[in-house]
Amino acid sequence: MPPDHNLDDYVDPYSPGHRHGGPLRVGLGGPVGSGKTALAAALCRTLGAEYDLAVVTNDIYTTEDADFLRRNAVLPDDRIEAVQTGCCPHTAIRDDITANLDAVELLESRHPGLELVLVESGGDNLTASFSYGLVDVQVFVVDVAGGDKVPRKGGPGVTASDLLVVNKTDLAPLVGADLGVMRRDADAVRGGKPTLLISLREDPAATEVAEWVREQVRARALQEA
């Protein structure tokens, strides 16, 4: 560099820098009842033996989802943190992520070898999305029972999430939903990003979603290397 310049001139003062080390943080968002907690539980069961993992829950009421995960003995207590969201689950994952960062950092300090943290949002609506200050990648979960028009309605979760999961495909014939329409509408607005149509009832291991998460863990490891 020129002799009259110092290093500070070349450092972006606003940049937090790349977060070195630490676990992959995966956001799980989506409307109420679409299966976020069931997906989190499935991922814990499928990936719990492979990765050092933990979960943050953001409930309307504090501990409903955390209790579900505990009851199902998916994870030990000290790997689950519940966040209070002050009646605004949406704010807590996007506009002011302080409480969630506190929870993630607490889990990271408690388990220094942590490789994967799932941050499950409180049930919200189609406009909910995670700040990338909180998570590295985000999954948006909708369900067939909400109607096959949901992907067409769009919103940041449907269009911009790193993975769109359409859950409860087993209910399609019962609610008159056309899976082909959902697939086509999702593909049309997602600019090539993946969509998985699944049924956690038929595949409680969430095989395809788990494989996508493994790819993200590998990709982050490559970035770090």
Residues in contact with other proteins by the rule CB under 8 A: 13-14, 16, 60-63, 83-88, 91-92, 95-99, 101-102
Cα–Cα dist 107/68, whole Å: 19
CB 2 → other proteins: shortest distance, Å? 25
CA-angle at 130, arms to 128 and 136, nearest 5°: 150
Minimum distance from CB of 158 to other proteins (Å)?
25
Distance of alpha carbon 118 from alpha carbon 138, whole angstroms? 9
Closest approach, Cβ 101 to other proteins, in A, equals 7
**How near is the Cβ of 6 to other proteins at its closest, in Å?**
16
Q: Smaller CB distance to other proteins: residue 101 or 189? A: 101
Tokens describing residue 144: 């067939």
**What spatial distance separates the first Cα and last Cα of the chain, rounded to whole Å?**
27
Helix or strand (DSSP H, E) at 105: helix 98-110
Q: How many residues does the chain have?
A: 225
Amino acid at site 145 = A
Task: Decide whether 32 or 181 has the Cβ nearer to other proteins.
Answer: 32
Return contacts of 179-187, CB within 8 angstroms, 24+ apart. Answer: 179/144, 179/148, 181/148, 181/152, 182/144, 182/148, 182/150, 182/151, 185/148, 185/149, 185/151, 185/152, 186/151, 186/158
- Give which of 89, 91, 118, 88 is closest to 103, Cα–Cα: 118
Residue 60 vs 160, nearer CB to other proteins = 60
Closest distance of CB 96 from other proteins, Å = 4
Q: Measured from the CB of residue 83, what is the shortest distance to other proteins in angstroms?
A: 8
Pick 101 or 145: Cβ nearer other proteins: 101
Closer CB to other proteins, 56 or 99, in the complex? 99
